[in-house]
């Protein structure tokens, strides 16, 4: 009985690979997620061209008002090389907006973290701010855009405030939940072993807050960016949102689409070049998401007889990796 | 060896209608090289007592002194489940509770890690390591706590692992002059390990204080141990502590 179980368990890790090998090459390529990801772009382009044609045919107007993928590409290429008819080129425009975003982000993180910690620690502080944080969460970015440009004018102040007001409620709520969910048992352990309060804050509270601070930063950046573009569009003289509207006013669809693409590229770069590497560094201790979660089953030796046959040191590695 | 003196210790949680009495006027003295087990049903205040002894909780009233050779003792604590900082390595977890991070301390931590072979008992072992290399501002005087609190440390282990760890714990206790206060809900475990058993009942009342006079090591399959266990269980019945 034992022998049969061991044998089946040892062969089982290989069986899925073997079944893939039996499929014909063409079918395997078609089923691969990587190909599906690559295929998305041509699919969009084809859909774009077909709908251009259908719209122009059914409304019967000059199809040159509609932008083709080539026109958008040419526009984006010209912008990237600094050749533009807009008052400021791509780099100046994004420079202005990034400065506003950065300043607003720093303010919303600093003030939001302070308020969040206060609200997480004290019921009275929480009661004082709670309704107003909820009100901020419910406020649409458009309302801030109109309100702030009316009272602060068309300079830098309005956009910076828009970033702060859009992002800060998310920072407050995240940090507050983080403080509330700090591991009590770890604090008790530190107390029982006589660890100093300062060391407890530095090594227990802060690391347990990091995931929440990180989520807060992501929200503050993405929601802040949306708020910024809207206020620049409605009440600005420059910046990414304003330039977007410049192309809209000039009735240049390729400019509108091209600028939206720049927004998308900006978001992707921010995520993959800035946020993701930092998050990987800070959360190195966490088990990665695609790693199989085997520590529980590891105890259940009968279910995984192959594991039971391994030497003790091998199992150690598995558990240490998990931790 | 340490001396614990508890007089009229009272602990309540909550206020008004939510008030719960966790410990009611407990008077107790524990001193010398003893292994004391605290048994009782869930919610009888066993863990609360350990938390008060270790300084995690403060009593509502009453007094408590823990001394070791005339000075304030620095006890170690084995929690029921592992209490580790997941963002630190095993070694850094051990060093976290150390006041001094010298190479001597590191070597000592390494020694105990080697001793317990981090295997399938990883959770409990890591925690007990924290105890053995426990905190100390003056490590020379108390680098290994002479007083250890243990809160159901074997309750989540399988019977065989728990049995071998109980043996190890006993031989460690016998080889040193430690005072151990051990909370458990397993009467058999208490009889096997301790020379004194304190019986607590619901409401945090200390019902009985039993001395177990049997030679160590005590094998659970040994007749004398089985009889002793039956006697303790009989006391439980007399005190009406067993659910019928």
The structure tokens 């989540």 sit at: B156
Q: Write out the two tokens for B182.
A: 């051990």
Cite the residue boundaries of each domain of chain A with CATH code 1.10.3720.10.
79-282
- Report the pLDDT value the prediction gives residue A134, as an integer from 0 to 100: 93
B117: pLDDT strictly greater than 90? no
Query: What is the band of B116 on the pLDDT scale with cuts at 50, 70, 90?
Result: low
Question: What is the Cα–Cα distance from B49 to B59, expressed in whole angstroms?
Answer: 9
B133: pLDDT strictly greater than 80? no
Comparing A154 with B86, the larger pLDDT belongs to A154
A36: pLDDT strictly greater than 60? yes
- Report the pLDDT value the prediction gives residue B87, as an integer from 0 to 100: 77
Question: What is the Cα–Cα distance from A139 to A133, expressed in whole angstroms?
Answer: 10
Comparing A168 with B81, the larger pLDDT belongs to A168
* pLDDT > 90 in chain B, percent: 5
B101 contacts chain A (CB < 8 A): no
B96 contacts chain A (CB < 8 A): yes
ipTM of this predicted complex? Answer: 0.70
A220: pLDDT strictly greater than 90? yes
- Report the pLDDT value the prediction gives residue A227, as an integer from 0 to 100: 93
Question: What is the Cα–Cα distance from A23 to A33, expressed in whole angstroms?
Answer: 16
- Report the pLDDT value the prediction gives residue B112, as an integer from 0 to 100: 67
DSSP A68: P
A297: pLDDT strictly greater than 50? no
Q: Which domains does chain B have, with CATH numbers?
A: 2-75+145-238 (3.40.50.300)
CA distances B123 to A69, B15, B42, B126, Å, are: 59, 36, 22, 5
Q: Which of residues 166-185 of A touch B (CB under 8 A)?
A: 185
- Report the pLDDT value the prediction gives residue B243, as an integer from 0 to 100: 52
Residue of chain B with shortest Cα separation from A315: B119
DSSP B17: G
DSSP string, A258-276: HHHHHHHHHHHHIIIIIIH
B236 contacts chain A (CB < 8 A): no
* A282 contact partners, CB below 8 Å, separation of at least 6: A210, A214
- Report the pLDDT value the prediction gives residue B115, as an integer from 0 to 100: 60
Comparing B122 with A253, the larger pLDDT belongs to A253
Q: A193 contacts in B (CB within 8 Å)?
A: 76-77, 97, 130, 134-135
Q: Write out the two tokens for B224.
A: 């004398």
Residue of chain B with shortest Cα separation from A281: B87
Q: What would be the CATH architecture of the domain defined by A79-282? A: Orthogonal Bundle (1.10)
Query: What is the band of B144 on the pLDDT scale with cuts at 50, 70, 90?
Result: low
Segment B170-213, tens digit of pLDDT? 887 888 788 889 998 888 889 999 989 998 888 888 888 888 88
Q: B137 contacts in A (CB within 8 Å)?
A: 194
Nearest CB partner across the interface for B83, out of A185, A320, A323: A185
Question: What is the Cα–Cα distance from B127 to A192, expressed in whole angstroms?
Answer: 13
| Pairing status of strand B71-72 against strand B61-68 | antiparallel
Give bridge partners of residue B211 from the DSSP assignment: B196
How many other C-beta atoms can be found within 10 angstroms of the C-beta atom of residue A323? 18
Residue of chain B with shortest Cα separation from A186: B83
B19: pLDDT strictly greater than 60? yes
CA distance A185 to chain B (A): 7
Residue of chain B with shortest Cα separation from A190: B97
Give the closest residue to A228 by CA, choosing from A132, A99, A107, A137: A99
Question: What is the Cα–Cα distance from A98 to A170, expressed in whole angstroms?
Answer: 20
Comparing B141 with A176, the larger pLDDT belongs to A176
Q: Which of residues 260-279 of A touch B (CB under 8 A)?
A: none
Segment A267-293, tens digit of pLDDT? 889 888 988 898 888 887 765 544 443
């Amino acid at each position: 009985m034992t022998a049969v179980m061991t044998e089946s368990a040892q062969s089982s890790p290989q069986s899925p690979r073997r079944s893939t090998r039996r499929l014909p090459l063409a079918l395997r390529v078609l089923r691969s997620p990587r190909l599906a990801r690559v295929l998305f772009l041509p699919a969009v382009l084809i859909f774009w061209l077909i709908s251009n044609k259908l719209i122009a045919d059914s409304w019967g107007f000059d199809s040159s008002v509609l932008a083709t993928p080539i026109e958008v590409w040419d526009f984006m290429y010209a912008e990237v090389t600094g050749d533009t008819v807009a008052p400021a080129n791509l780099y100046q425009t994004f420079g202005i907006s990034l400065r506003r975003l950065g300043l607003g982000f720093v303010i919303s993180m600093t003030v939001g973290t302070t308020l969040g910690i206060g609200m997480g620690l004290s019921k009275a502080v929480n009661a004082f701010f709670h309704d107003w944080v909820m009100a901020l969460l419910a406020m649409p970015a458009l309302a801030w855009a109109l309100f702030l440009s009316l009272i602060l004018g068309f300079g830098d102040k309005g956009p910076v405030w828009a970033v702060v007001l859009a992002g800060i409620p998310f920072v407050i709520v995240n940090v507050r939940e983080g403080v509330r969910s700090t591991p009590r048992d770890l604090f008790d352990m530190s107390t029982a072993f006589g660890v100093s309060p300062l060391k407890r804050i530095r090594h227990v509270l802060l690391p347990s807050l990091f995931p929440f601070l990180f989520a807060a930063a992501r929200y503050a950046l993405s929601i802040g960016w949306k708020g910024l573009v809207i206020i620049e569009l409605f009440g600005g003289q420059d910046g990414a949102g304003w330039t977007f509207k410049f192309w809209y006013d000039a009735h240049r669809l390729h400019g509108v689409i091209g600028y939206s693409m720049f927004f998308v590229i900006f978001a992707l770069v921010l995520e993959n070049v800035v946020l993701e590497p930092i998050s990987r560094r800070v959360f190195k201790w966490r088990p990665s998401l695609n790693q199989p979660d085997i520590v529980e089953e590891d105890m259940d030796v009968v279910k995984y007889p192959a594991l039971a046959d391994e030497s003790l040191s091998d199992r150690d590695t598995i558990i240490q990796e998990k931790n | 060896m340490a001396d614990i003196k508890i007089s009229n210790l009272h602990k309540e949680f909550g206020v008004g209608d939510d008030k719960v009495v966790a410990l009611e006027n407990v008077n107790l003295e524990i001193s010398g090289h003893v292994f004391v087990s605290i048994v009782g049903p869930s919610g009888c205040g066993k863990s609360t007592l350990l938390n008060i002894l270790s300084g995690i909780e403060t009593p509502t009233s009453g007094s408590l002194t823990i001394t070791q050779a005339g000075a304030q003792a620095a006890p170690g604590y084995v929690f029921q489940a592992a209490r580790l900082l997941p963002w630190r390595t095993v070694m850094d977890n051990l060093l976290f509770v150390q006041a001094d991070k010298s190479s001597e301390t590191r070597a000592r931590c390494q020694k105990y890690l080697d001793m317990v072979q981090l295997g399938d008992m990883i959770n409990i072992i890591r925690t007990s390591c924290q105890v053995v290399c426990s905190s100390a501002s003056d490590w020379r005087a108390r680098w290994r706590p002479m007083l250890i609190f243990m809160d159901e440390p074997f309750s989540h282990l399988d019977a065989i692992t728990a049995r071998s760890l109980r043996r190890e714990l006993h031989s460690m206790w016998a080889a040193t002059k430690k005072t151990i206060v051990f909370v458990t809900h397993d009467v058999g475990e208490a009889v096997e390990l301790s020379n004194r058993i304190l019986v607590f009942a619901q409401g945090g009342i200390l019902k009985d204080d039993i001395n177990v006079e049997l030679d160590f090591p005590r094998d659970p399959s040994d007749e004398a141990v089985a009889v002793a266990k039956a006697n303790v269980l009989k006391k439980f019945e007399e005190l009406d502590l067993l659910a019928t």
